[in-house]
């Protein structure tokens, strides 16, 4: 055996030899044996072995040069067993001068590896997952050089792709090798938008397929890579400048993208991979797999998040290399979209008729994607850890957003059960549809107005179908969030006019822009804030930038064209803020009249109650407000000092708890004393059990997502409001953190359909 270090450096000639060996005739195992023999000679190693992972999780010895050939397909290591298991677990190379002394070493006598000390093992990575391990060994104790590690990683990457493509082994021999996840998995997440769906997985911005792996012209590939990186950096600069169609992303995320896209280490890793003989695309895939396997194992959550940012960058870079910096939005029928997270514009660009479900690694029930999913009635489960690495394009997938779970590659019995549940839900929807024209009266005669939350053009098309008695909350900011530029006066007036026309004689309440916080627009310059949820947002932004708010109010007045106008302001924290905002409405009405334009036939100006400060100033607020609407989403997060968009704390409180319900009861009672119309327009209003509690508290107007109207109406029709009110009063004195179970018991006792 030659002395270590005498082999010709670089993997290019070795890869050509491997391709030549595979192109020959003869049994597959003989070709595989030739591959490990070629690697051993080139790497000046006395042993070279290939292990592949079986679907059971075991690692099987598939080929060896230097160990006992009788161990091939006989030696199997359990998941995590031995040094091979350690490499699989970490997804990183292992370079040892004395392998037997390592605590993870596992001796297998049938292999005859007793005399070998030096060991270098690297994972066969594909899509960030280790599908096998490539190992070289020598008798003498030594640490392999960095060049050896680099070369073996490149060889392992190419071998992984050859295995996956069936070039290295026949399909029959690969039938139990887990190249991609194949086992049925049940993953727990969080329910974002109710519903059930069964379909096929579609990866949001699915990676561009890498065809050619090896290059004969490193300079040309380096030039292609440099041009693509420059294009990517320019695109990200455009995002920050507000000239891109990528919307809804926060400034912090885009700033992180910019930092990573200009990262010297990322660029250097890509360039080094190209220099080693890979194409630019293969270099991206190699660096992607290293980051997935490396950073993904980090305990630091910040570092784990960075691998997701790098995923997005790698996908974008591959599209630039392919000559397409844009996004493909084509979908198969019954598509289940898989993503790390989404902005509202991302979801709206997909074909609604084919998009049946949504699964997210991140997000919260209050995120943009979740809000839009509920508006479009798309079942959505979020906060599913590791989702992207455990699902492949085209996998059958179940979205169970009734309980917040997903099934990847489900068994036939699970599919059958879920299909039956989907049928039952369809029958329930048909039952709700029959109630569409039935007025919502409780059994003891109380009329409950059921209104619809809206904000998208598609909402207008289904208004009549829902049986809603009007639009209790029209979120005007959605038009801004899905636009590349600031919507001008005519565009705003046109949308508001279409909303009024679609509603006809039904009332519509327009909420002025609720921007800021997590709704940062690229084209609106705003300073970065440490705590944006408590920062410069909503009515504060409108009062500080009066031109923006005045243009919106002017567009609203023009759109109603002499019809009634109901407008309310979000996140009012002081009575003075409401006075200033109301005065601005009055000035815009006067401005229209001076120019001979019609004023609203009736003008109602109200505010949302979201800031807890108003709870102790209702005596001053209600006499000057024409109506109020309780925004329970924000009110609860501020009341409990728990960010509803932060998964670590969003479940630290329950709106069905004594503090929350007492606050709501105080608002209802104050409005009753002053005869001020009040509604509830938060997420609570659209869930039957929570809506039951609201009705019991005395609220007579609830505004909710379209999908909630049928179930809530069914609850109202089954409810004896007087009995519910008496029962709930007895529960409000509880010292428990949540009385949800008690309210559920009360509903059962009263035979409530909740």
681 part of the active site: yes
For the chain, give the percent of residues with pLDDT over 70. 79
| pLDDT > 70? residue 109 | yes
Q: Are residues 347 and 300 in the same domain?
A: no
> What pLDDT is attached to residue 677?
97
| pLDDT > 70? residue 562 | yes
* 3 state DSSP class of 170: coil
Examine residue 675 and state whether it is found in any structural domain, yes or no: no
Examine residue 716 and state whether it is found in any structural domain, yes or no: no
Q: Are residues 360 and 414 in the same domain?
A: yes
| pLDDT > 90? residue 700 | yes
Examine residue 95 and state whether it is found in any structural domain, yes or no: yes
Q: Are residues 225 and 312 in the same domain?
A: yes
| pLDDT > 50? residue 305 | no
Q: What pLDDT, in 10s, does the model give residues 141-182?
A: 889 988 888 888 888 887 887 776 665 555 555 555 555 556
Q: How confident is the model at residue 136 (pLDDT cuts 50, 70, 90)?
A: very high
- What's the rounded mean pLDDT across residues 622-650? 87
The total of structural domains in the chain comes to 4
Q: Rounded mean pLDDT of the chain?
A: 81
| pLDDT > 70? residue 551 | yes
> What pLDDT is attached to residue 724?
95
Rounded to 5 degrees, what are φ and ψ at 198?
-135, 125
Torsion angle in degrees (nearest 10) through CA of 127, 133, 138, 144:
20
Examine residue 255 and state whether it is found in any structural domain, yes or no: yes
- What's the rounded mean pLDDT across residues 103-111? 85
Q: How confident is the model at residue 519 (pLDDT cuts 50, 70, 90)?
A: low
Q: Record the tokens describing residue 723, joined without a space.
A: 């009995």
Q: Record the tokens describing residue 374, joined without a space.
A: 């509920």
Q: How confident is the model at residue 301 (pLDDT cuts 50, 70, 90)?
A: very low
Examine residue 668 and state whether it is found in any structural domain, yes or no: no
Q: Record the tokens describing residue 271, joined without a space.
A: 């360039």
> What pLDDT is attached to residue 24?
65
Examine residue 581 and state whether it is found in any structural domain, yes or no: yes
Torsion angle in degrees (nearest 10) through CA of 406, 410, 415, 417:
-70
Domain final residue pick, 547, 572, 606: 606
- What's the rounded mean pLDDT across residues 578-588? 95
Which is the catalytic residue, given 204, 291, 320, 368?
Answer: 368
> What pLDDT is attached to residue 626?
97
Q: Which residue has the higher pLDDT, 309 or 596?
A: 596
Q: Are residues 61 and 157 in the same domain?
A: yes
Beta pairing, strands 355-360 & 380-382: parallel
Q: Are residues 301 and 358 in the same domain?
A: no
Q: Are residues 415 and 534 in the same domain?
A: no
Q: Record the tokens describing residue 169, joined without a space.
A: 């082994």
For the chain, how long is the longest CA-to-CA vector? 99
Q: What pLDDT, in 10s, does the model give residues 184-220?
A: 788 899 888 888 999 999 888 655 555 666 777 778 8
Q: Which residue has the higher pLDDT, 34 or 623?
A: 623
Examine residue 681 and state whether it is found in any structural domain, yes or no: no
Q: How confident is the model at residue 34 (pLDDT cuts 50, 70, 90)?
A: confident
> What pLDDT is attached to residue 249?
34
- What's the rounded mean pLDDT across residues 422-446? 87
> What pLDDT is attached to residue 242?
47
Residues in the chain: 754
Q: Are residues 237 and 193 in the same domain?
A: no
Q: Please tell me the distance from the alpha carbon of residue 322 to that of residue 325, in angstroms, as a whole number.
A: 8
CATH number for the domain including 334? 3.50.30.10
Domain final residue pick, 549, 578, 606: 606
| pLDDT > 60? residue 517 | no
Q: Are residues 201 and 245 in the same domain?
A: no
Q: Are residues 495 and 395 in the same domain?
A: no
CATH number for the domain including 100? 3.30.450.40
- Helices and strands per DSSP (H, E), number in the chain: 26, 22
Q: Are residues 478 and 568 in the same domain?
A: yes
Residue 20's domain comprises: 12-174
| pLDDT > 90? residue 13 | no
Q: Look up the pTM and report it.
A: 0.59
> What pLDDT is attached to residue 521?
53
Q: What pLDDT, in 10s, does the model give residues 338-350?
A: 988 776 556 766 7
Examine residue 733 and state whether it is found in any structural domain, yes or no: no
Domain final residue pick, 606, 628, 650: 606
Beta pairing, strands 508-511 & 405-408: unpaired
Q: Are residues 398 and 414 in the same domain?
A: yes
Taking phi first (over 0 means left), then psi (-120 to 50 degrees means alpha), and beta for anything else, what does residue 8 get?
A: beta
Q: Are residues 167 and 71 in the same domain?
A: yes
Rounded to 5 degrees, what are φ and ψ at 188?
-95, 140
Distance of CA 103 to the CA centre of its chain: 40
243 part of the active site: no
Which is the catalytic residue, given 48, 380, 671, 681?
Answer: 681
CATH number for the domain including 590? 3.20.20.60
- Residue 565 host element (H or E): strand 565-569
Q: Indicate the range of 25-29, 356-360, 702-706, 727-731 predicted with least confidence.
A: 25-29
């Amino acid at each position: 055996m030659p002395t270590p270090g005498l082999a010709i450096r670089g993997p290019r000639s070795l890869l050509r030899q491997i391709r030549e060996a595979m192109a020959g005739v003869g049994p597959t195992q003989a070709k595989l044996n030739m591959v490990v023999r070629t690697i051993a000679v080139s790497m000046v190693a006395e042993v070279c072995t290939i292990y592949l992972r079986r679907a059971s999780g075991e690692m099987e010895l598939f080929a060896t040069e230097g160990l006992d050939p009788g161990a091939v397909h006989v030696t199997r290591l359990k998941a995590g067993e031995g040094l091979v298991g350690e490499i699989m677990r970490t997804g990183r190379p292992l370079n040892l001068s004395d392998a037997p002394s390592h605590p993870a070493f596992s001796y297998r006598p049938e292999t005859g590896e007793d005399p070998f000390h030096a060991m270098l093992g690297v994972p066969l990575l594909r899509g960030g997952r280790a599908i096998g391990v490539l190992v070289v060994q020598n008798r003498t104790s030594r640490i392999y050089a960095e060049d050896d590690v680099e070369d073996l990683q490149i060889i392992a990457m190419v071998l992984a792709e050859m295995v996956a493509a069936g070039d290295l082994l026949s399909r029959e021999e690969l039938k139990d090798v887990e190249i991609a996840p194949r086992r049925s998995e049940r993953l727990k997440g969080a329910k974002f938008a109710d519903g059930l769906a069964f379909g096929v997985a579609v990866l949001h911005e699915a990676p561009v397929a890498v065809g050619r792996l090896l290059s004969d012209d490193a300079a040309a590939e380096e030039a292609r890579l440099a041009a693509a990186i420059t294009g990517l950096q320019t695109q990200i600069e455009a995002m920050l400048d507000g000239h891109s169609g990528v919307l809804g992303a926060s400034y912090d995320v885009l700033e992180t993208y910019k930092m990573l896209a200009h990262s010297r280490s990322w660029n250097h890793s890509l360039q080094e991979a190209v220099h080693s003989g890979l194409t630019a695309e293969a270099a991206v895939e190699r660096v992607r797999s290293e980051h997935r396997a490396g950073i993904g194992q980090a305990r630091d959550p910040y570092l784990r998040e960075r691998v997701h940012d790098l995923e997005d960058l790698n996908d974008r870079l591959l599209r630039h290399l392919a000559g397409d910096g844009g996004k493909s939005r084509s979908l198969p029928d019954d598509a289940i979209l898989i993503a790390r997270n989404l902005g509202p514009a991302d979801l709206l660009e997909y074909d609604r008729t084919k998009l049946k479900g949504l699964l997210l690694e991140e997000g919260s029930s209050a995120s943009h994607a979740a809000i839009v999913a509920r508006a479009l009635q798309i079942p959505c489960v979020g906060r599913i850890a590791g989702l992207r690495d455990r699902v492949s394009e085209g996998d059958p997938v179940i979205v169970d957003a009734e309980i917040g779970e997903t099934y990847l590659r489900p068994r036939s019995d699970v599919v059958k059960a879920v299909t039956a549940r989907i049928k039952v839900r369809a029958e329930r929807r048909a039952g709700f549809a029959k109630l569409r024209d039935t007025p919502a009266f409780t059994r003891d005669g109380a009329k409950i107005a059921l209104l619809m939350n809206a904000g998208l053009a598609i909402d207008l098309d289904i208004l009549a179908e829902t049986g809603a008695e009007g639009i209790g909350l029209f979120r005007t900011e959605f038009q801004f969030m899905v636009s590349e530029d600031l919507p001008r006066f005519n565009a705003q007036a046109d949308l508001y006019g279409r909303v009024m026309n679609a509603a006809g004689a039904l009332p519509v309440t327009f909420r002025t822009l609720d921007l800021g916080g997590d709704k940062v627009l690229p084209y609106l310059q705003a300073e970065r804030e440490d705590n944006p949820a408590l920062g410069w947002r909503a009515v504060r932004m409108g009062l500080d930038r009066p031109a923006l708010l005045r243009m919106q109010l002017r567009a609203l007045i023009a759109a109603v064209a002499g019809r009634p106008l109901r407008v309310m302001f979000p996140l009012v924290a002081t009575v003075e803020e409401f006075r200033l905002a109301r005065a601005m409405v009055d000035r815009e009405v006067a401005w229209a009249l001076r120019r001979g334009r019609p004023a609203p036939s009736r003008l109602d100006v109200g505010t949302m109650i979201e800031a807890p400060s108003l709870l102790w100033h209702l005596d001053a607020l209600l006499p000057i407000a024409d109506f109020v609407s309780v925004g329970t989403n924000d009110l609860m997060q501020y009341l409990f000092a728990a960010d509803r968009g932060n998964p670590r704390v969003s479940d630290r409180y329950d709106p069905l708890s004594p503090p929350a319900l007492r606050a709501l009861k105080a608002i209802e009672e104050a409005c009753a004393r002053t005869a001020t119309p009040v509604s509830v327009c938060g997420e609570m209003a659209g869930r039957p059990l929570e809506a039951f509690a609201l009705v019991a508290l005395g609220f007579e107007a609830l505004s909710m997502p379209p999908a909630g109207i049928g179930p809530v109406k069914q609850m109202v029709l089954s409810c004896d409001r007087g009995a519910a009110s008496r029962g709930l009063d007895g529960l409000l004195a509880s010292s428990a953190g949540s009385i949800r179970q008690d309210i559920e018991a009360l509903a059962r006792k009263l035979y409530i359909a909740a």
